[in-house]
Amino acid sequence: MPRTRVAPALPTRVYGRDRVRFLESLVVGDIAELRPGQGTLTLLTNEHGGIVDDLIVTNTVEDHLYVVSNAGCADKDQAVMEGRAAELRAAGGDVHLEVLDNALLALQGPSMAQVLQAGLPDDLTKLTFMTSTATTVFGVPGCRVTRCGYTGEDGVEISVPAGRAVELAERLLGCPEVWPAGLAARDSLRLEAGLCLYGNDIDESTTPVEAGLLWTLGKRRRTAMDFPGAAIIMEQVKEKPKRKRVGLTSVGPPLRPPAAILGPEGTPVGTVTSGCPSPSLGKNIAMGYVQAAHSRPGTTLTVEVRKKQQPALVTKMPFVPTHYYMAK
């Protein structure tokens, strides 16, 4: 059964002949390789290799890039982008930013396609994972539908003009298959899918390599080393990081941040960054950072929970298989 929730978002349109060069000066992904209508998760990094935010960037068919920030990071992201755009324009570059007053409505779950297709003029089977289209949704114009989401399930995120977001949400909730969902449901689903939460599992003190997000670095970008913090990040790729993000499973009281993770001799080797009971698995799941020597799946560690030590097992992620709609 699909679930829906509304969140604020500050999507930004990036125009100009230098829009790809502009964005690649800020993020680690290969934006130039994106086909029209294709998007990617990428990372905005700082000069120390830390993650300022994780973004979804889409190369639209309308000759602009479409950037969606985390709502909590939107102001700082916008300041970084505006500053860089001004620098590029001062050097003769052509780039222009337009911030939209939109909300983000997520519709996720096995019945999503059946529900949404009834309100779309487009054939939803042609919209595969991480592709996007501008369209009308249940009579609301000016929407952008992207087949992605933060749950590990097949789903879409709908960028909708803020003034009509409640109208669209109510229209979807009028479908008997759709239930509203809050942050607790989203958090357990994203954790089961092994997805990071900005501010918990990634932030400006963590690098893409430590976070296990090396796949976001485009091959061409690794060679060019032309993104912020490239020297530090690529040195970690070569020498291996001193700590790594891992998955943990346990029974008993759930593992919650910022619980200490202890090695076999009882010495601290890391910290829990996210944790909750898994409704799908019937046991506790968590993420955290541990020293690289203790990061191998199958390693038994100990976590301090309510002043007691509780066994935890390093476990591969995702904890629950994902069900993204991929191209056949």
Point out the annotated binding site for substrate. 157
Find where tokens 């357990």 sit. 188
Listed in sequence order, the residues at least 6 apart from 50 whose beta carbon sits closer than 8 Å to its beta carbon are 203, 204, 205, 206, 207, 229
Long-range Cβ contact pairs of 263-269 (< 8 A, separation 24 or more): 263/291, 263/294, 263/301, 263/302, 264/300, 264/301, 266/302, 266/309, 269/293, 269/294, 269/301
**Within 13 Å and on the Cβ side, how many CA atoms surround 214?**
14
Tokens matching residue 187: 């958090």
Count the Cβ atoms, other than its own, within 10 Å of residue 248.
26
Q: Is the dihedral of CA 121, 126, 130, 134 positive or negative?
A: negative
Tell me phi and psi for residue 75, to 5 degrees: -65, -45
Report helix, strand or coil for 275: strand
Kindly state the tokens that stand for 229: 């913090």
Annotated binding site: 157
